[in-house]
Amino acid sequence: MDVKLETVSQVRRRLTFTIPASTVAAAFAATTQRFAAKTRVPGFRPGKAPASMIERMHGTEIRRAVLDKLLQDHVFKAIQAAEVHAASRPEIESVGELRRDLELPVTCSVEVMPELHPTGYEGAELSVPAVVADEADLDEALEHKCRERGENAPVEGGMEAGDEVTVDYALVPQGEHTGTPVVAEARRFIVGPGHVPAVVDEAVRGATAEETIERTVTITEDGHGLAAGTEVALKVTVREGQRLAIPKLDDAFAVDVGATDLAALRAKTQADLAAEAERRTLELRRKAAVDHLLAHNPVEVPRAIVDHVVDEQLGRMFGNLSEQQVRQLAGPLQQLRGQFAATARGELRHNLLIQALATDANVEVTDADLDARLEQFVAEDPEHADAIRRRYASEDGRDGLKNRVRAEKAMDLLVNAAKVTTSETQNLRQAREAEANARNAPEPAQPAHVHGPDCDHDHDEDDDAPVGHAVL
């Protein structure tokens, strides 16, 4: 089959070919005969009526059946003949005039995975923060270890900030102030701002277990169903209070958590923090190198692949919804689909580019590499060592780990090829806060989009697409 192949974009190929007139004629004959066998025509035995009569009776249906048959038989043959590895089902862009005695020109298009050969990373100038573990990080980590070993005990005396208390309280609007009373029973909270109305929190501080506080107060801020300035009768009964008794950081504590003495515990904790700082520095360098690579190597992603990823995500989240529930949630689901698609497209661009880099650089992963990475996982989370080893013992788990290590090696290749300078030094607390802020930051606004035949998202007007732009 003679097929003209055209590259429309990184991810779309257009194929133009012609179905011979003899093939078209044969399809008409076979289809007409099939209709004749099922059509009763007065004066003729089944299947013996003239073809011209059958075509007059079922012309539209015969032409549709002939076209469907020809396209089904020849579009995929054309894709194979052109040696195109399709990533989506083909779309028919145009079809010539369908006549029994004419050849039939067809133009279709199909999505493919992009052929990528990353460039522009050699000598890339990157300015990246460096993360170090300082004394403040060490003190915080040791304090955290002590708090983890702490035990709650009944509070003797007045309640303080940080204590966990259980109270009953009521706030009843007075005089000209209207509103619904705020009542709570056995309300457990940590003494401190924001958990309960401020007037309740203030009343609890200094109170003892079984004490009841009654007074008239003025609400100072909106919230909890009451407006600022509302005068209320306050009644708070403290049922109980628990205070965390934190063990002293000394040699005895160090022995209790598995160290020989406090000096050894400090050294082990410092080493763990230094390893975390080194890992975070490497992650920041990898991210900067990959961001630079993406900026200098635009990557298109097949819409079909994005849709597949989004369908899987929505299926995991809403797979148990009934058809009625899906219809009721059509708007929110469509919005969520758009958000998922944007995220999936970004992740796929990253993965495709790193995979292409690994292929071009002949990055290999040995069994020793996999074993070393697995032991690193275990060292980072020793309490779940058995579960981690089971996860990566299967063939799928091993393959997933191999892909991960291969990607990490490719990213390290980027870092090693770049010129990296330190923009600033952060301690671990600053680095963790920066990571959390970046994770919670809103997605950047996308530039205005100009609709075109190759854009990779849904259009409201797609329902009005011309007949013939059909997906097989």
**pLDDT tens readout for residues 29-49:** 888 778 777 767 666 666 666
* Residue 471 resides in a domain: no
Report yes or no: 471 and 91 within 8 Å, Cβ to Cβ: yes
Would you say residue 463 has pLDDT above 60? Answer: no
Return the structure tokens found at 381: 């989370």
> For a pLDDT cut of 70, what percent of the chain falls above it?
89
Q: List the CATH number of the domain containing 214.
A: 3.10.50.40
* Residue 295 resides in a domain: yes
Residues 345, 415 within the same domain: yes
Residues 431, 296 within the same domain: yes
Cα angle at 287 between 355 and 388, to 5 degrees? 70
Report yes or no: 84 and 5 within 8 Å, Cβ to Cβ: yes
- pLDDT bracket for residue 343 (50, 70, 90): very high
The model's pTM is 0.74
Q: Domain range spanning residue 236?
A: 151-245
Residues 156, 102 within the same domain: no
Residues 104, 170 within the same domain: no
Q: List the CATH number of the domain containing 279.
A: 1.10.3120.10
* Residue 139 resides in a domain: no
Would you say residue 179 has pLDDT above 80? Answer: no
Residues 192, 234 within the same domain: yes
Residues 434, 285 within the same domain: yes
Residues 206, 347 within the same domain: no
The answer to which of 146-150, 408-412, 455-459 has the lowest mean pLDDT is: 455-459
In the predicted model, what is the mean pLDDT of residues 414-428?
Answer: 96
Q: What is the mean pLDDT of the chain?
A: 88
In the predicted model, what is the mean pLDDT of residues 368-397?
Answer: 92
Residues 232, 321 within the same domain: no
Instruction: Report residue 262: phi and psi, to 5°.
Output: -65, -40
- pLDDT bracket for residue 448 (50, 70, 90): very low
Q: What integer pLDDT is reported at residue 444 of this predicted model?
A: 53
* Residue 258 resides in a domain: no
Would you say residue 426 has pLDDT above 70? Answer: yes
Residues 28, 165 within the same domain: no
Would you say residue 458 has pLDDT above 70? Answer: no
* Residue 392 resides in a domain: yes
Last residue of a domain, one of 62, 81, 111: 111
Residues 297, 408 within the same domain: yes
Residues 307, 434 within the same domain: yes
Q: What integer pLDDT is reported at residue 184 of this predicted model?
A: 93
Q: List the CATH number of the domain containing 63.
A: 3.30.70.1050
Residues 211, 294 within the same domain: no
Instruction: Tell me how crowded residue 110 is: count the other CB atoms within 10 A of its CB.
Output: 26
Q: What integer pLDDT is reported at residue 296 of this predicted model?
A: 95
Report yes or no: 234 and 222 within 8 Å, Cβ to Cβ: no
What is the number of domains present in the chain? 3
Bridge partners of 242, per DSSP, are: 154, 164
* Residue 462 resides in a domain: no
Q: What is the per-residue pLDDT across 74-108, written as a single tens digit (0 to 9) for each?
A: 999 999 999 999 999 999 999 999 988 899 999 99
